[in-house]
Structure 1
């Protein structure tokens, strides 16, 4: 029970931190010079501590027209990635045991 509560708390904490980083990036003068906010979307990733869901902004570069989730790039999440790196590693280890 303690472990489940800890995982819930840790997941909520990580979600809050990620959304805070996204908000700080949105306020950045450097970001404002090159990127404009298009929309806010939700992202869900499965990790070893559980499912983490957070909101982040989708941007368009004012000069090149390129679209990007700047938070995803900053923390190393690739498009369409649904599993955290540690969870992937655990799954691979498990399949090697079988």
Structure 2
């Protein structure tokens, strides 16, 4: 589940950053690099929001009679849009004692 306000804030920041790139670029190479960096940063933030939203959805939809939340753990992923750090929820199966991420 996405928080639309957070997504909107990311896009508004991207537009502001792109305007700064256009205003400050001295040549085509600077413009191209600025746009690429801005878009990559935006994709990074959106990917992080999506993954955290998926983890929240799994928490809400899990079988609460079976899976107990133990803790949250930070995990850093290397992606094509850069490193992202997300928080994953770790669970214990009340029936078998198995521990895992959902």
Tell me whether the two structures share a fold, i.e. TM-score over 0.5: yes
**Cα offset, 1:61, TM superposition:** 0.7
**Cα offset, 1:8, TM superposition:** 1.1
Q: Distance in 2 between matches of 1:6 and 1:69?
A: 31
**Cα offset, 1:60, TM superposition:** 0.6
Q: Deviations over 1:13-61 (max 9, x none)?
A: 1111111111111111x43122110001111111121111111101111
Name the residue aligned to 1:10: 43
Q: Which runs of 5+ in 1 are unaligned?
A: 71-98
Name the residue aligned to 1:47: 79
Aligned residues: 69
Name the residue aligned to 1:66: 98
Kindly name which structure, 1 or 2, has the bigger radius of gyration based on alpha carbons.
2
Name the residue aligned to 1:91: none
Q: Which runs of 5+ in 2 are unaligned?
A: 1-33
Q: Distance in 2 between matches of 1:44 and 1:21?
A: 16
Q: Distance in 2 between matches of 1:31 and 1:21?
A: 16
RMSD: 1.1
